[in-house]
Amino acid sequence: MFDYVRYYFSPLIQLLTAVSIFVGGPWVWFGIVTLPALALADYIMPIDLKERHINNRSLANIPIWISSVAGPCLLFVLAWKIGGGALSTAEIIGATLSVTWLSVIVVVPAAHELYHQRGVMRQFVGTYCQVVYLDCTRNIAHMSGHHLDVGTPLDSDTAARGESLYSFALPAVYHSTLCAFRLESDALEKRGMGRYSLKHRMWPAVIAQVIFQGIIFAIGGPVALVCGIVSVLVARLWVETFNFFQHFGQVRVPGKPIGRRHVWNHLGPMTRVIAFEITNHADHHLNAYTPYYKLKPDTTAIKMPNVFICFLSALIPPVWNNVIAKPALKRWDLEFASSEERELAKAQNERAGWPNWFGESMENKAAA
């Protein structure tokens, strides 16, 4: 039973954040404070390698539905509170940051789970709850792009070695949006329609965002609208900063099978729960329809620090590269990569100005 209950932690955090905004004062910072709190908890607690014992998909989906729908509702609560004139400028900033953070850490994985499932309503809700991070077409680039191209130069979600969080995030927003538009246009063209047909899914995505911001304006006025726009823009960029860690530096020959090794897993106990297993996703790349609670932790993989530590370290690129990325990728290259992938990795190392640890490996073998 606890395996079912644990995933209500995310809806609980969303509820408490809504209450904190309603109460006002310093409490409005509650949502954003969960970032360092979760980072500390995952740092202190041992990694979680346990499989979940859940068999009822309908019950397991309840917190997913709640978390997805609660994302837009939190922004409506914020708009209502701003409209009432009860928040100071500092409180508005704290509340907006809180809502934005939860749009990233909770709504992204919840919506991701829904649009990966079969069923028109699940996919519809999963798609359009993404309005809170300005990406109601993300499922197109993700499912028809990322899942096919992961680890290759074609994948905008795979950061190359030597790339920093700062140089990655904004281009990733652009390229993933462009990828979604191109894939949808190509599909329409194959069906005999124009590339800009009204059936293009980009149009309802734009309309959804206009309606969403219109509701925020109607509830809270111009200040709430500014906060709504800022929130979705920051959230969109923030999403890509977390994508940065999932496949950083890994390589794959285009067209070759995708393996569990083409994913970094972050198995902090709090991360697994609040993000609905999105950082435990090696199996997800083998079968995209596997529900979140059926994903098995890869016990043979390289153990990465929790995703919060990765995020904070990447804010200082030398720390990320030298303390986390290089040691992990050296092991990945020498122990997990195929011979073809080692050639690709060696070329990336050279472009990034990184050491040639392949040569070091040969020297060590010769010395032995």
Q: What is the pLDDT of residues 124-169, one digit of tens each?
A: 999 999 999 999 999 999 999 999 999 999 999 999 999 999 999 9
Mean pLDDT of 78-98: 97
Average pLDDT over residues 185-202: 94
More confidently predicted of 282 and 30: 30
**CA 242 to centroid of chain Cα atoms:** 5
Tell me the whole-structure pTM to 2 decimals. 0.93
Measure Cα distances from 196 to 123, 144, 337, 358 in Å.
Answer: 22, 19, 41, 48
Report the alpha-carbon distance of residue 362 to residue 352 in Å, rounded.
Answer: 21
Helix, strand, or coil here: 91?
A: helix
pLDDT in tens, 323-367: 999 999 999 999 999 999 999 999 999 999 999 999 765 445 444
Average pLDDT over residues 255-282: 93
Q: Which residue pairs, CB below 8 angstroms and at least 24 apart, start in 253-261?
A: 253/152, 253/338, 253/340, 253/341, 253/344, 254/149, 254/152, 254/154, 256/338, 256/340, 258/147, 258/150, 258/151, 258/285, 258/286, 259/286, 260/285, 260/286, 260/298, 260/301, 261/301, 261/332, 261/336, 261/337
Six-digit token pair at 159? 């950061």
Residues in contact with 187: Cβ distance below 8 Å, sequence separation at least 6, in sequence order: none
Distance CA(347)–CA(228), nearest Å, equals 43
Residue 68 banded pLDDT, cuts 50, 70, 90: very high
Q: pLDDT digits over 278-330, tens only?
A: 999 888 998 889 999 999 999 999 999 989 999 999 999 999 999 999 999 99
